[in-house]
Structure 1
């Protein structure tokens, strides 16, 4: 009982210390604050990866000489070496963000992130096998000796099957992730859209994630294919970058080739604030002729009928609020307050949760373009992404006059895999419904 009290007291003290530390961190200068918060995120994620590596080590090595039934010591040593190298590569994945982010991905970063993606699939498959085994143990009847023999044989089979399924899922996910994102055409009806704007085309890019595994060459391919559609407007709905301008400025240069009659626009996602370099990115994007909608609007005026206009507004991601990032944050009043209520309103909001708040606000928003969810990107994160976000992926008709489109992302975050999800360059055609 005394030991339990000590553990409880220690846990409470730890939680209070973490809360006080967080208050202290948010009071620091934004650059130092961003570094500390990134370090906290990295530590937390590395801890999760360590737990996964420990679980796999126990399943595949420490308890598994008999499970895989290696016929010779040489094969066992080879198997053990492969597993340990695999786990080490997955474990050091986040370290590659510090040392291996350049204009185009370096092979070591790609290998580490591929190992991390495979690790996630393997852990999931083995956990499912463990649940099956628990269920069978509950249902199994008979003598203890027979139970043990059946259990050992079944465990061998389940482990091999889990490994094969995980490898197939990873291979399929890697094939999709490394392929060019397809062009997806979507027609969205809009009330109040002037007839002169009927058929207006919008290219939406989202969640490009320039960083350790996406670089200049892949961005150049997306720019070329987006420009081939000759869009009227181009929007980048956040999470463009995963590091500072100093490391990725050159990788972003192809954005200068984006051109559209009504402009090219950008809003922040959560990852821009993780970099701690968002203001420098604003300057960089403006130098590339990309207009940053920093809680502000742009008026799209029809070239043939100047009296016909659309209010295109963009709101900062609310991660800026969490980080205490001065001069930034989700401010719908700033972004939408000066839009004429008689104009059709298109809002760029990175997170679907912000889209929901905008549609529930006093502003008569007709269309929200979002990203962020990646459709979950990998199994089983697709389940969490579906449950957590008010809009998961694709087109949602919220009311007679309002729609939300959530892009699954142009690329991916870090892990170059897409398991049961897709990527896309979204080609939107607006249809007047007066």
Structure 2
């Protein structure tokens, strides 16, 4: 997040490794992704082409299998190449789980949701597609590897460099894709209801420079064992002599349910963040449609307390700190070189291409037509099971409040324009 690296000494979260990369590498202060969504942005990066040239319209339709990428080109020129981690730039890979049997609705929901949600963006309804954002803390206070999958891929990358790239006489190129700081799926909402849990440990949360625990527990004897792990998250210096902590207070938990999870959530509601500010939200009716759409579908338009908002922001910053922990290149600064100043002619030619005129109206028309055509084909493939399938996608909670109205809205959308039904 570029907002967290605007100064070398961030006032919000400590990111020494990313700032090291910023200082020694190239910084783009006015840059935009080629597409504001997952797969199309990666298809642009891997192909080197704008999304409209490859027709990478959404998280289901991106590059076809075998589409030539820049890695193919440099491999043909003599580089040895390797890629680890998240790639996700080919058609279907983001929304297909290999479960295409529409008779098993719980299995096929995720396989269908991404593409149907994308195709129906022009339909005049708004349906929440994800669970309510929340912040969770692991009970292991010293846990460093929270996003274990990312850390394992880092280990694979390091091992490949040491054992293969280092011993090769050819130049090499390694690609490493991470999931951090993307939130996790919310398990208590079902695996198909999006990723909306911001999960971290105290180890990373303490990197958020404004973090300060403000409570202590006096646990009743009967629940002592249940809450022992939660108590461990209080920093050592505060655990010693709790009576001297001016901002701490004590309480009993006899009335609380037997749940470590509830205790940890209670702790989250009593945390102070001095440097994290509450955003000044525009009223929904004054939002730009793009912002309103994303806020609503991500289930961010409901009521959140100030503490909930602060926790989510702080935990996101802590996940950025974990990302920073993965990116430690301090022992190998030669990996970072800004070559822009060495090739001004190439920079100028690229700038000229980026500013060339594109027929935006034609591209927009093509996208709208694509959405309708693909939805019609998909609906035909579902057959008589269409009503059951579409009502059980990720948006099922909102859909089932007004199912007939939602189906009617889709029918009117399909009948509009020049599409041939």
Give the TM-score, by structure 1 length: 0.19
Q: Which has the higher contact order (CA 8 A, sep 6+)?
A: 2
**Higher strand proportion (structure 1 or 2):** 1
